[in-house]
Amino acid sequence: MSKNKFNICLVCDFFYPRLGGVEMHIYYLALCLIERGHKVIVFTHSYDNRAGVRYITNGIKVYYSPFVQFHDQVVFFSLYGTLPLFRKILIREKIDIVHSHQGTSVLGIESIFHSRTMGYKSVFTDHSLFGFADAASIHVNKLLKCFLSDVDACISVSHTSRENLTLRASLNPHLISVIPNAVDAARFYPDPSKRYPLNTINIVFISRLTFRKGVDILISVIPPLCKKYPELHFIVGGDGPKRKILESTVEKHGLQKRVEILGSIPHKEVRNVLVRGHIFLNTSLTEAFCIAIVEAALSGLVVVSTNVGGIREVLPEDVVFLGNPDPEDIVKKVEEAIPLAKNINSQQIHDRLKDKYSWRDVAARTEKIYDRIMATPKPTLLDRIKRYYSSGPFVGIAMVFVIIFDLLLFALLTIFSPTKDIEPAVTFPYTEFAENRETYSDLKFQELPKKKQ
């Protein structure tokens, strides 16, 4: 454990009550960093009636900022609009490091830029893979190239993701560390007695029902598999724009009794759905690191997945069947998995994987990055300008003016709202949790015991 204790601000548009891989990564990383003695806050935007400052498990302080959502729960790109509030929060909480997550998070991109202006250390974690041909990817890649020019360190969740980020953002690969995602193994464990319907081979699919998650492939494989194997039963969890197409396909082929469409599933209920199955099916078209297949394997399921992105790095070859993102190939892989699913030792798979992906290990490795960047000197203004200017012949010049205006705005805020006038926030008693960390060694992260009066 590091001797240095830092005040860390995790920033992302995606956080609770929204549930997903990025959200759970931030949540568990925060819990484990607190366990290691650090102070952690989360900066995100408001969700419906969830606004203002909230405390969640073990004193994670969340700032649900009042910024307007623009698309897919991401705030409108204002650049300078976040600086006044963000500055006050960092000063109030005495932050040392700003850690941004996800390349499509506007708050994350803006926070890195402003934190460097204010002299804070910054880290960026990328969770997704992006291409180089479509318009959306081109714009996201260019933004990353501009705003990551001055970042202290980057983290990718797989080696494939690292290579992708290096090319997209034109970064030095030595600046990027690979720290995989993890799973709370205590929450995902097998129970074959929960499998139902009985006397069937149950195939579970849990994901957002979107194009990127390969729902079109799922829709294409269900009818031929059901026709060839009368004992197959599909359990589909998740919601999204592709749900209506899935429902109409099921109705068209008369498979209502053989395909359950459960809709959105709370994360706490995911394990209860997984243990009903024999096979877990993942049809994603792109994945940097798929937490869902790890959760499924820990729950004792055989995994059939598309061989895209960093998925090949996640599970041992004997518990996963990897195929091309093509309906015919996925059908073949499911057929290969059926005999194994009938006789597999679920507990043996769980025991093999339970220590492979640990959130405590993720936090320890992230802590080493914090130690390293805090030991490096801060760049001068000239160094920062040179880095942003390297973004390109035209964009580089524009970024120089952007950073100069950001510095002027920061100077005005410092004059009209001096640091000495900003009241420090009350710090949650993290030390009690850190000193009694062995009490919470099962990673259930229960609430702190109340102090005796």
Q: How far apart are CA 119 and CA 140, in angstroms?
A: 25
Q: Is the pLDDT of residue 450 over 50?
A: no
Distances (CA, A) of 220 to 227, 245, 328, 386: 12, 11, 9, 51
Instruction: Write out pLDDT tens, residues 5-30.
Output: 999 999 999 998 887 788 989 999 99
Q: How far apart are CA 156 and CA 164, in angstroms?
A: 9
Contact call for residues 28 and 45 (beta carbons, < 8 A): no
Contact call for residues 151 and 325 (beta carbons, < 8 A): no
- For residue 382, count CB atoms less than 10 angstroms from its CB and return exposed for 0-12, middle for 13-18, buried for 19 or more: exposed
- Can you tell me the mean pLDDT for 78-86? 92
pLDDT band at 48 (very low <50, low <70, confident <90, very high): confident
- Kindly report which listed range (21-35, 158-172, 401-415, 431-445) carries the lowest average pLDDT score: 431-445
pLDDT at residue number 448: 42
- Can you tell me the mean pLDDT for 353-376? 92
Question: Could you give phi then psi for residue 176, rounded to 5 degrees?
Answer: -110, 125
Picking from 143, 126, 124, the residue whose alpha carbon sits closest to that of residue 388 is 143
Residue with tokens 């997209």: 168
Q: Is the pLDDT of residue 414 over 70?
A: yes
pLDDT at residue number 277: 93
Picking from 61, 58, 69, the residue whose alpha carbon sits closest to that of residue 35 is 58
- Can you tell me the mean pLDDT for 105-118? 93
CB neighbour list of residue 85: distance below 8 Å, 6 or more residues apart = 65
Picking from 71, 181, 62, the residue whose alpha carbon sits closest to that of residue 126 is 181
Picking from 160, 206, 184, the residue whose alpha carbon sits closest to that of residue 32 is 184
Instruction: Write out pLDDT tens, residues 170-222.
Output: 888 999 999 998 888 888 999 989 998 888 999 999 998 999 899 999 999 99
- Kindly report which listed range (176-190, 283-297, 434-448) carries the lowest average pLDDT score: 434-448
Amino acid at 141: N
- Kindly report which listed range (261-270, 307-316, 384-393, 426-435) carries the lowest average pLDDT score: 426-435
pLDDT band at 153 (very low <50, low <70, confident <90, very high): very high
Distances (CA, A) of 374 to 8, 25, 123, 340, 370: 12, 23, 11, 50, 6
Q: Is the pLDDT of residue 440 over 50?
A: no
- Percent of the chain exceeding pLDDT 90 equals 58
- Can you tell me the mean pLDDT for 309-328? 90
Q: DSSP E strands: which ranges in 257-382?
A: 259-263, 279-282, 302-306, 320-323
Topology of domain 185-353 in CATH is Rossmann fold (3.40.50)
pLDDT at residue number 186: 86
Which of 121-154 are b and which e, b meaning 16 or more Cβ less than 10 Å from the residue's Cβ?
bbbbbbbbbbeeeeeeeeebbbbbbbbbbbbbbb
Question: Three-state DSSP class for 320?
Answer: strand
Instruction: Write out pLDDT tens, residues 366-381.
Output: 999 999 999 999 888 8
- For residue 449, count CB atoms less than 10 angstroms from its CB and return exposed for 0-12, middle for 13-18, buried for 19 or more: exposed
Instruction: Write out pLDDT tens, residues 261-273.
Output: 999 888 889 999 9
Q: Mean pLDDT score of the chain, rounded to an integer?
A: 89
- Can you tell me the mean pLDDT for 161-175? 90
- For residue 268, count CB atoms less than 10 angstroms from its CB and return exposed for 0-12, middle for 13-18, buried for 19 or more: exposed
- Can you tell me the mean pLDDT for 79-103? 94
Q: What is the largest CA-CA distance in the chain?
A: 74
Q: How far apart are CA 322 and CA 311, in angstroms?
A: 9
Question: Could you give phi then psi for residue 310, rounded to 5 degrees?
Answer: -95, 10
Q: Crossing angle of helices 267-274/291-298, nearest 10°?
A: 50
Which residues of the chain form CATH 3.40.50.2000?
7-182+359-440, 185-353
The CATH number of domain 7-182+359-440 is 3.30.200.210? no
Alpha helices, DSSP H only, in 104-158? 106-117, 135-147
